[in-house]
Each structure stands twice: as structure tokens, then as C-alpha cells.
Structure 1
Amino acid sequence: MMIGTWRWNAVLGISGGLLTLLFSLSSNGLAITAMRCVYAFVVFFVLAYLFRAILAFILHTPADKLPNEMVTDVPEEKGTRVDLSTPDESDELSGMLKQQLDGRPAEDTKEQAPFKPLQPEKLVSTPNKEPDELAKAIRHLTGG
């Protein structure tokens, strides 16, 4: 199984032919340029098939080559499959929302302390410092 369709090959072939037309028309006659455009189309078309086949070979998974019956017999290793389904917790969520609307605390939560905003220390500026002292401090902090 290759990645993509033959349309990619056609687009790459046409692109190669047009590039050949642009670069060859100024130095060659129309017949030679047309012949080179056809050759370029064929070469780019075939190279696109080769590129798609190599890309499919690199990106294939080992389970793709096994028949469906054998895929279930392969032991699963931890971390090979990811379950992205979310469990249904709508009943719990609606119960919590009702408790919040009624003003009651949640039953399974611990007693919480009242909210207290952070009070960071004030920044202290150093006016009237000598430039040499500030340069030494900066060098010391940057390790230079």
C-alpha cells in the first residue's frame, strides 16, 4: 500500500515539466524544449512513485502485514495502545454543581482554609550605587 494517490505523481510530473520548460526555453528551440518537458514529466512521475513506495515502507507498522486473526494473538506491551475515551462522570459533576449552587461544601473534600492572597515582598532599589559595584554584582551573578 502506497501513501497518497496517482494525483501526487501527476502534480510532481507537471511541476517538473514546467520547471524544465522555464529553464530550457531560453536556451533551446521549441521542439527540443517540448521533448525535454515530456522526459522531465515521465522522470518526475516515476520518481514520485518510488518516493511514495519508500515512504510507505518506512512508515508501515508490523501489524499491517499480519492477518486479522493473528493481530489479536500478539501480546500487548505497556504503552503501545492509548485509550483516549473519557469516563462518564456526568452524575458526579451535576451533584457537585448542585452542592455549589446550594452553598453546601462538597462532602468528599477536606475542610479548606479561607482564601488569602499572596503578599510578596517589596522590591528594593539601590539608588546612589557606584557603577563599578553594580558591574561587580552583575559579573558575580552571571558568573563572568
Structure 2
Amino acid sequence: MQGTWRWNVVFGMTGIVLTVLFSIGNNPLSVIMLRSLYAFIAFFVLAYPIRYVLAFILKPPAMIGDVQENEETKGSSLDLTTPDEGEDLNDLLKAQMLGAANPAEQEQQSSSNQEADPAFRPLAPPQFVSTTNKQPEDLAKALRHLTGE
């Protein structure tokens, strides 16, 4: 059964309020109280079929081929593992760095690059040269070149 008995009490109180509103001007207080008690009982009992019908109407349709889990096993396990894709990622980065579309072209390019430029090493840039042993004329020339004079 959907919901709790509190919904039935709310329906019963609704019956009391409606009975008092419709009979306050025509009946004495004792008759209003007795009819309010009857209305509470009637609305309380009628709330069960109303709740059942609403639960049946509002229930989402079951997916075809969807396996229903037991209530005891729902949420008891959590799988946080992801597949290891380190090698694939490294291959893609190497291919992008070398500009190849597939691994076969990558191997051909890497072998041809090694033959053409053996001093090139990826991710190993040349070190900056210090200015301690430079001539002042060379430094002034470099500064003019950088400033555009």
C-alpha cells in the first residue's frame, strides 16, 4: 500500500471540515459533531481505495527486458573501477605529437625522423643560454631586434 495512515487522517479531517462548513447554519452543535465523526470515519475508509487507485495510475511503466532487482540488494554495491586506457592514451599522444593518423604511419615517421634528425628528442627542449659571457654589442643588437628598432 502506498503512503501511510497519515494520508487517511488528512482525508478524514477534510471530511470533518466539509461537514462543518455545510451544516453549521442549519444544525445544532451536537448534530454537527456526530455527523463530523461519521464523515471522518467515511473519508478515512475511502482514502484506502483512493490511494490504491492513485498509486496504480501514477506507477511508472516497467521497461521491457529490464531485470528487476530485489529490494535487499538495491544500492548494496558500487562499482567504481574504470578500464585501463593508459597505453591507448600514450599511443594517441605519440601519434598526435608526430602528426601520424595511425600507428603504422607513426612507426614509419618515427624511424624516418630518427634517421633525419638524431639530435631531436621530444619533450626535451634546449637549455637557455646565460648572458654572463656575451659581449655588450651582441646584447644591444639582440635588444634592438626584439624591440623592432
TM norm. shorter chain > 0.5: no
Task: Give the TM interval when normalised to the shorter protein.
Answer: 0.3 to 0.5
- Calculate the TM-score normalised by the size of structure 1: 0.40
- Calculate the TM-score normalised by the size of structure 2: 0.39
Q: Determine which structure has greater relative contact order: mean sequence separation of CA pairs < 8 Å that are 6+ residues apart, divided by chain length.
A: 1
